[in-house]
Chains A and B, each alone.
Chain A
Amino acid sequence: MSTATPIARPTTPPARFRDLLAAEWIKLWSLRSTRWLLGVGALALIGFAAYSSVNTYLDWPTYTPREQAAYHPVSEVLTGATAALLVIGAGSVGALTVVGEYATGLIRTTLTAVPARHRVVAAKVAVVAAVMLTLGAVVTAASFGASQAILSGRQIGVSLTDPGVLRVLAADALLAPVAALVGMGLGALLRHTAAAVVAVCGVLVVVPSFLKPTVHQWANDLYATLPLYVWRNCLSQTHPRDSPALPTVTGSWVVFALWPLVAALLTLIVVTRRDV
């Protein structure tokens, strides 16, 4: 012990939560796959909205008065198909932020560096939610702007202050973070890339796509717990029909809040409890 000399301790300030947020941001953004998926995905969604608006612009004279009355321009921002793409993309990126750690073994390096696992999970959830909300907001705003610019030539544009428009746009923007956090939860549970992506597609997109309002109220109530189902049948419409067979606006917001919340809790529990 006589040969041992004291180690010069760096006078670094203690690690703060915002350092962890920065670390997760570096991890997310330093992957080429994330940048490409998010960049190309956002451009594709905006492109689809513009393309669909151009089609409406061209076909508008052939619409019957009834079709014209039923049409609402805000529906160009996200259609059923592009919403499904958005959910799959965002859900997969969310899943990969966790699966990417487990499948590569990086999780052991991560948790050795920051043993307080709940802080790692909290930072990851916060960064993924913030990035996806930004992405959703940008895609929604840009798609809405492009669509409005195109449709204004037919005098069928809408204003943000028209009833229901802001709510629809908010729901469109929130679809990405909701899907991403659910994807994270599924990723933490399954810890396998392919399984997590299949689960994201199945739970968030495929199953809700097959469901239609039925005469059985219990089935309608069950369906009304699925995010994409309530988006399609309620939140994406400026004037949702008032029917017990369909989800309510309030009920739909609750679904949009509970799914990511439960998924984040699930991620927290699974990551803190399991050996790695």
Chain B
Amino acid sequence: MCASVVGVIRVSGLSKRYGDVLAVHDLTFTVPPGRVTGFLGPNGAGKSTTLRMILGLNRPSSGTATINGRPFAHLRAGLRHVGALLDANDVHGGRSAAAHLSALARGNGLPRRRVHEVLAEVRLAGVAGRRLGGFSLGMRQRLGIATALLGDPPVLLFDEPVNGLDPEGVRWVRDLFRRLAAEGRAVLVSSHLMSEVEHTADRLVVIGRGELIAEESVAEFAARGSRAGVSVRTPAAAELAALLTRAGAAVTAEGVDALTVTGLSAPRVGELAHTHGIVLHGLATRTASLEQAFMELTADRADHRAGERR
């Protein structure tokens, strides 16, 4: 594959201070090509501020963010390098969808047919001439996605893209993200809800209070939840527990014939049992829900927890 067209975002030591508030603190992560990277954090964690710094809209207090090794802020035709949907309402309500996209396309030297192509792709071709002031949030989200696709860029950023979309729209947008990644593009999708990205993302970048909590694959992240582990059912529970503990695992008894094991994989547990002639009646890997792992990890770093009163 041709390396020059592949996009990668590198964020390095990025910080942003607003007066006394440190919105983003020393953030370092990479968004690789060919993957959908979920960018997760509770409300107020600093996701949007980070995205704005990547796009050169906000100046970092320190650190750098680069697209293919270059700061985005000096590019002449940004749409060809990065497609971004930050806020679907960042449009002028007095313009038609076609006029809005035409101005953006023209400013980047893109042919006019791209406007019709992206409008058709997001299924807004029928309302191209209608003024944006009359668009619903879902229609604006589609327009924002159309804007991001306009320049056929190798890097795409989407901030809370499913807000306002109907279930069919949500499925469509997930398929779109998967397809964009499969084409070799770097796709970053932010959300404050794990459920929105767990079916789309290959990797996760999780932040809380402006700091990095995790940067890893979805599977690795799921394993962090406290309910993750291996469930074993065996008539020789006590014997197996002692054996597994010696092998370095943490073992909890779940009744007379069941154990929960963490620190060893299911195949390894099975092998050890077999080697020592212990009969197993059940052996299963139990993954915590991603949502739960996310809640546990961000609980102490959430700025706006539900039910909290000042």
Contact = CB atoms under 8 A, between A and B. Distances in A.
B183 interface: yes
Interface stretch (B68-76, B272-280, B297-305): B68-76
B184 A116 contact: no
A114 B57 contact: no
Contacts of A14: 76-77, 109
Interface in B74-127: 74-80, 82, 84, 86-87, 89-96, 99-100, 102-104, 106-111
B108 A15 contact: yes
A89 to B, nearest CB: 18
A7 B184 contact: yes
A136 to B, nearest CB: 24
B107 A19 contact: yes
Contact of A19 (B5, B52, B108): B108
Given A4-B183, A5-B184, A19-B109, A104 B75 contact: no
B130 interface: no
Contact of A113 (B92, B96, B108): B108
Dominant secondary structure at the B interface: loop
Interface residues of A, number: 46
Contacts of B152: 7-10
Contacts of B33: 1, 4
A33 B92 CA distance: 12
Interface in A155-174: none
B212 interface: no
A110 B18 CA distance: 24
B55 A104 contact: no
A14 B82 CA distance: 15
Which of A14, A16, A275, A276 is packed against the most chain B CB atoms within 10 Å? A275
Contacts of A16: 109
Contacts of B306: none
A276 B1 contact: no
Nearest to A28: B103
A119 interface: yes
A65 interface: no
A101 B62 CA distance: 28
Contact of A30 (B1, B89, B96): B96
A109 B91 contact: yes
A10 B153 CA distance: 10
B78 A5 contact: no
A39 interface: no
Contacts of A8: 152
B90 A115 contact: no
Contacts of A104: 89-93
Contact of B94 (A10, A33, A275): A33
A4 B154 CA distance: 12
B8 to A, nearest CB: 12
Contact of A116 (B1, B55, B76, B99): B76
A107 B183 CA distance: 30
A13 interface: yes
A2 to B, nearest CB: 9
A4 B89 CA distance: 32
A104 B100 CA distance: 13
A270 to B, nearest CB: 14
Contacts of A149: none
A23 B103 contact: yes
A66 interface: no
A116 B87 CA distance: 20
B6 interface: yes
B107 A108 contact: no
Contact of B55 (A5, A23, A115): A115
B109 A116 contact: no
B252 interface: no
B79 to A, nearest CB: 5
Given A112-B86, A113-B78, A4 B182 contact: yes
A202 interface: no
Given A5-B182, A7-B185, 4 more contacts: A4-B34, A14-B109, A115-B55, A115-B75
22 contacts: A4-B34, A7-B152, A7-B183, A7-B184, A9-B152, A10-B111, A12-B110, A15-B108, A19-B108, A22-B106, A24-B103, A27-B92, A31-B94, A104-B89, A104-B90, A106-B91, A109-B104, A112-B86, A115-B55, A115-B56, A115-B72, A119-B76
Interface of B: 1-2, 5-6, 33-34, 52, 55-59, 72-80, 82, 84, 86-87, 89-96, 99-100, 102-104, 106-111, 147, 152, 154, 181-185
